[in-house]
Amino acid sequence: MTTIKLYNTKTRKKEVFEPLRRDDVRMYVCGPTVYDRAHLGNARPVVVFDVLYRLLRHVYGEAHVTYARNFTDVDDKINARARETGRAIGEITAETTQWFLDDMGALGALEPDHMPRATDYIPQMIAMIERLVAERHAYEEEGHVLFAVESYSDYGRLSGRTVEDMIAGARVEKAPYKRNPMDFVLWKPSSDDLPGWESPWGRGRPGWHIECSAMSYELLGESFDIHGGGNDLMFPHHENEIAQSRCAHPEGDFARVWMHNEMLQVEGKKMSKSLGNFFTVRDLLDQGIPGEVIRFVFLSTHYRKPMDWTAEKAKEAERTLRKWYRLAGLSGESSRYDPLVQALSDDLNTHEAISQIHALANAGDVNTLRFGLEMLGLWPGAIPKWAEIEGFTDAETGTISHLIQRRETARKKKDFAEADRIRDGLARAGVKVVDTPEGAEFEKLPNYDVNVLDEVWGGL
């Protein structure tokens, strides 16, 4: 079986991945707070862990991998949006949840096996909080229930910080009901105009951190294999998840492998509305940038490195994908290519995987090319509309693209007789080829004859 190695944030090293059970690999990834469109940075972890999901399914079998990603649909940002717009909270969260699914689907992301919504798991959150209070890891003050950070000796181990460092370096909410500035809210009271549920501590709503602990426990158990998210969540969210989960269920390990993707920049600068470089995924899609192109740009950079979105990268990605799709249109099936699987198995080295696909395309190996596109989630099942050549079928497009690729290879080898033969054959078939700085383009002429094209193909 393929050996997968993953960088574990918890241990600060790359490790051989050994699931708790090979027939039941489990992964949890923190999802969005649904009050607005997903911005470009929100999409990076979706794409990163979608590739990991595809790899795990390839190695262990689709029936043996469970992937859960949550929706936070109870949050003060949602409440604020409801006040601003005068719309019902349920209406806002339903709409933005569907927006998220549509936009991520446009990026080629598979839907996880479970997509729990926080509001569907309030009883489970209350039960976990009750357990923490009973074990003296949490306490009630002024209608709030707070986790006592000092009760968990390993707090800070994931992020590598001491409690003192975290207090000094973080904007800690100061409140008179906290015994320790680092203690965090598990439950808080709700006024009549805010969402609320009855609990042993009165009508209220959960804090942010408890929801992922409760939902991952219900769906994946007290121990599971992988927990992922952006590195902005490492502290405090993931640190708090670990503390409350390990204290509520000390019999388990919670997540064994922690993976975090780096952040995204735009044209070399932090994405910010004040800089005018803030984009949602929908903004780019509406500008005519295909979802496959956005995904390609994301995957061109290793997930643990900062990623810079630029207009030039998007243009280059579109040129590359047009070439690949036109070749893949010739493929009748995909053929496994082990070196590419090995690249992805080395801590999701998507940059190396893309380099290998370049080589497969240059060699005209269309079946393994399609396999590589499938593994990266870049093959939509057929040549997408934006990459089609008007008037040609996918098979014809693939044949012509392959002939042009063979012509380019012959030129590089200075086999000009072969290059001229292919050029003349395409001309006889009624295919006009135009060489541009971005690569060769082609179009159908009035004398196009697919039978002649087949003869040229057969004569290679």
pLDDT confidence of residue 402: 87
pLDDT confidence of residue 331: 77
pLDDT confidence of residue 454: 87
363-381 residue pLDDT tens: 888 899 999 999 999 999 9
pLDDT confidence of residue 270: 85
Q: Is the pLDDT of residue 263 over 90?
A: yes
pLDDT confidence of residue 447: 94
The mean pLDDT of 236-242, rounded to a whole number, is 96
- pLDDT category at 163 given cuts 50, 70, 90 is low
The mean pLDDT of 37-58, rounded to a whole number, is 97
The mean pLDDT of 281-292, rounded to a whole number, is 97
Q: Is the pLDDT of residue 166 over 70?
A: no
Mean per-residue pLDDT over the chain, rounded: 93
- Kindly report, as residue ranges, where domains of CATH 3.40.50.620 are found in the chain: 5-261
74-132 residue pLDDT tens: 999 999 999 999 999 999 999 999 999 999 999 999 999 999 999 999 999 999 999 99
- pLDDT category at 394 given cuts 50, 70, 90 is confident
Q: Is the pLDDT of residue 275 over 80?
A: no
Q: Is the pLDDT of residue 169 over 60?
A: no
3-state SS record for the chain = CCCCEEEECCCCEEEECCCCCCCCEEEEECCCECCCCCEHHHHHHHHHHHHHHHHHHHHHCHHHEEEEECEECCCHHHHHHHHHHCCCHHHHHHHHHHHHHHHHHHCCCCCCCECCEHHHHHHHHHHHHHHHHHCCCEEEECCEEEECHHHCCCCCCCCCCCHHHHHHHCCCCCCCCCCCCCCEEEEEECCCCCCCECCCCCCEEECHHHHHHHHHHHHHCCEEEEEEEEHHHHHHHHHHHHHHHHHHCCCCCEEEEEEEECCEEECCEECCHHHCCCCEHHHHHHCCCCHHHHHHHHHCCCCCCCEEECHHHHHHHHHHHHHHHHHHCCCCCCCCCHHHHHHHHECCCHHHHHHHHHHHHHHCCHHHHHHHHHHCCCCCCCCCHHHCCCCCCHHHHHHHHHHHHHHHHHHHCCCHHHHHHHHHHHHHCCEEEEEECCEEEEEECCCCCHHHHHHHHHCC
pLDDT confidence of residue 229: 97
Q: What percent of the chain has pLDDT over 90?
A: 77
Q: What percent of the chain has pLDDT over 70?
A: 97
Full-model pTM = 0.91
Q: Is the pLDDT of residue 174 over 70?
A: no
pLDDT confidence of residue 173: 63
The mean pLDDT of 44-69, rounded to a whole number, is 98
Q: Is the pLDDT of residue 171 over 60?
A: no
Q: Is the pLDDT of residue 439 over 80?
A: no
- pLDDT category at 158 given cuts 50, 70, 90 is very high
CATH number for the domain running over 5-261: 3.40.50.620
136-156 residue pLDDT tens: 999 999 999 999 999 999 999
